[in-house]
Structure 1
């Protein structure tokens, strides 16, 4: 891509941004008072709570109730959150899904094993499963059902693809590590993880056992695919700039940060006209940088820190990157499950599920105290199981403090 092509791309992005700003300004009550001519800088940052409290004000008058398609998520806190989308937005999400899946090695028509919680509400009919070539794999009790999953995998005559929660693939890897007899003979074509941060253990072991790259996708129900790792750039998350305008803002104020600084991920959706989401605070923290990929300058998310509400602070009140937790725990392969909880400013509990005696307890405590502060009250709690959330995810880091600022 030459300079002229890059200029064309930037022009198209600006046109899409201006179009959705104008649409939101002219068809919704909430955005009607903001000056489109001043650009996105004049629009406020919004979040789930603001949308819940003013749902009708965010709805576009261009779409009636019958043409609005609900998008419902349980949310990280378990509180349901509903937004609405128009048909073109749904179609755009489908196109994005196919495009980014192809960048991760998935080919249309390949059988997809989809790991998540499957309930009566979201389970696809046998007819749809057949048409879409999807095999639903429920993550509840996956540890006990792992042999059946590998048996199912070995029955396939052609390579398959995986999509699902990181914790599900981590469970499969740990079962394969304990029992080499279970290791599948069939090649997996692509593995895309979602909804949880991809840790080093799952990435490395997944690539070893399934013989293909394990890539991570950053998406949510209310928007769609915001960014994803690809074969061309496996370290960073390539931002879906064709569908979203992404900004990184300070944690404590609505101020755009320079490239390379960690902050809140703010998303403007170009295609949701039914309920425009302008400068939507995703609740996640990340770092945006510019990379030269195959001679093309691209904006990427170089790091995803997870939920703002699940960040850990040291004893001085300074934010500690969750990456430290994941990076450090990679060394403790004997631990089956773990969960770090900050109870108070200087009080931390690490829940651990381990089949045998943990002989490196003191080492782990010393390492985490070196990150958190030598005055930290850091305890280990042994448990039989760390339960999944109702969504099927398993949190690795939790902050239970009522106030998490300095």
Structure 2
């Protein structure tokens, strides 16, 4: 246990206690409800409170008094929310105090920013800590967050990094030189928790195996995987290398963590305290049968600024709901699909994270609606662009992509009205069609 960890935990507890201990209470309730389940009364009450609220305050829902039950409300994709953004936004948002931005481009390549109030932001943060603590995390531990960090867009200040004991681990490039530096930083900076996307964890563990690196002196106690589905091979290799299993999670930037793996349970335990989950048929908005693969749809109970009712996440999965002997309701995602982006390579043959392409799009939010980078050869790429061409500076967009692909990348631009959807029901922000690297 590091000194900095203990000090930060003490400071957090003292500051929270001075404000009535709200965050700690929220965290403990969240943890308890994830493990012990919720009551049917809680789920019914939260849904009806939310639906009454949106029909009173959201212009999008105001004109439909006939929508009384959740099943009456339309299923909304990310594109639907973007198209109707101003109407979904509540009319009392200016009275809610400071608002926070939850931004993502997502694996589907559509930039999206959700506004929320301080209460929802606290819930997102405590939801994250709750999911971590249920798997051995201790408040204040030094964590390395693996992302494609973009200066001026998603990087954090030195003060916030110090306060949260957070190290920014850049995964824009996952070639051997970059992975070597990441390994050195993990050891030198005594990082205790790796919070990483599946693709980055796959690249890191394969590099560790290839180089036979001695990690016995590392301080890492927890590996937390998020984003795209974690391959079983990576799960097993991580356990072999570190001596413990990584934690699988499911969620997004718009809502927070929706489900979490507990212990080594192969299923994901759904957070029924914060969300109402549904699985709908692939070709209609009817509920999927038990055990049937369908679309993952969630309703967020607590965003009172930009309410997300029946949000189609773009992912597919299989869910089971059941009651325990005490009558409490539990939800499990038996399987989760989607977020399996093709592995792309730069002109040097080095692998690139899918999140490079996702975060590049954040720079052009509001101008580029969708984009997809396709690799056709060693240095040959095609960029499908759905954008406002009057505002678009294509040279600036190409420069942003070449920053990661390589200055010698040959990029053909194809303007489209919409990115073609794959058979899975999703379109990806990148795709590798080069036989040499498939």
Shorter-chain-normalised TM-score: which range? Answer: 0.7 to 0.9
Q: Specify the alignment match of 2:12 in structure 1.
A: none
CA deviations over 1:288-339 (Å, ceiling 9, x no partner): 01468899762100100115xx79xxxxxxxxxxxxxxxxxxxxxxxxxx75
Pick closer, same or farther for the CA change 1:191–1:293 going to 2, 3 Å: farther
Pick closer, same or farther for the CA change 1:297–1:55 going to 2, 3 Å: closer
Aligned residue for 1:150, secondary structure, equals helix
CA contact (8 A) 2:248 2:260 kept: yes
Pick closer, same or farther for the CA change 1:137–1:36 going to 2, 3 Å: farther
Q: Specify the alignment match of 1:63 in structure 2.
A: 93
CA contact (8 A) 2:145 2:169 kept: yes
Pick closer, same or farther for the CA change 1:146–1:108 going to 2, 3 Å: same
> How far apart, in 2, do the equivalents of 1:34 and 1:191 lie?
46
> How far apart, in 1, do the equivalents of 2:291 and 2:317 lie?
9
CA contact (8 A) 1:72 1:80 kept: yes
Q: Specify the alignment match of 2:149 in structure 1.
A: 118
CA contact (8 A) 1:154 1:186 kept: yes
Whether 1:22 and 2:52 are equivalent positions in the alignment is yes
Which sits farther off after the overlay, 123-132 or 246-255?
Answer: 123-132
CA deviations over 1:50-103 (Å, ceiling 9, x no partner): 211111110111212864323221232333112211111111111111111111
Pick closer, same or farther for the CA change 1:403–1:112 going to 2, 3 Å: closer
Deviation, structure 1 residue 163: 0.4
CA contact (8 A) 1:187 1:210 kept: no
CA contact (8 A) 1:188 1:212 kept: no
CA contact (8 A) 1:244 1:270 kept: yes
Whether 1:269 and 2:300 are equivalent positions in the alignment is yes
Q: Specify the alignment match of 1:188 in structure 2.
A: 220
CA contact (8 A) 1:20 1:270 kept: yes
Equivalent positions of 1:67-216 (< 5 A) are 67-120=98-151, 121-143=153-175, 144-155=177-188, 160-216=192-248
Deviation, structure 1 residue 7: 9.7
Equivalent positions of 1:4-403 (< 5 A) are 9-35=39-65, 38-64=68-94, 67-120=98-151, 121-143=153-175, 144-155=177-188, 160-231=192-263, 234-290=265-321, 298-307=330-339, 384-389=349-354, 391=356
CA contact (8 A) 2:173 2:352 kept: no
CA contact (8 A) 2:146 2:194 kept: yes
Which sits farther off after the overlay, 101-110 or 270-279?
Answer: 101-110
Aligned residue for 2:225, secondary structure, equals strand
CA contact (8 A) 1:167 1:393 kept: no
> How far apart, in 2, do the equivalents of 1:294 and 1:230 lie?
20
Deviation, structure 1 residue 37: 7.2
CA contact (8 A) 2:38 2:330 kept: no
Q: Could you state the TM-score of these two structures normalised by the residue count of structure 2?
A: 0.68
Deviation, structure 1 residue 116: 0.8
> How far apart, in 1, do the equivalents of 2:325 and 2:195 lie?
27
> How far apart, in 2, do the equivalents of 1:304 and 1:59 lie?
30
Equivalent residues, number: 331
Give the unaligned 5+ runs of structure 1. Answer: 312-337, 340-350, 354-382
Give the unaligned 5+ runs of structure 2. Answer: 1-34, 360-371, 376-418, 426-438
Deviation, structure 1 residue 241: 0.5
> How far apart, in 2, do the equivalents of 1:405 and 1:97 lie?
29
Deviation, structure 1 residue 124: 1.2
Deviation, structure 1 residue 391: 3.9
Q: Specify the alignment match of 2:392 in structure 1.
A: none
Deviation, structure 1 residue 162: 1.0
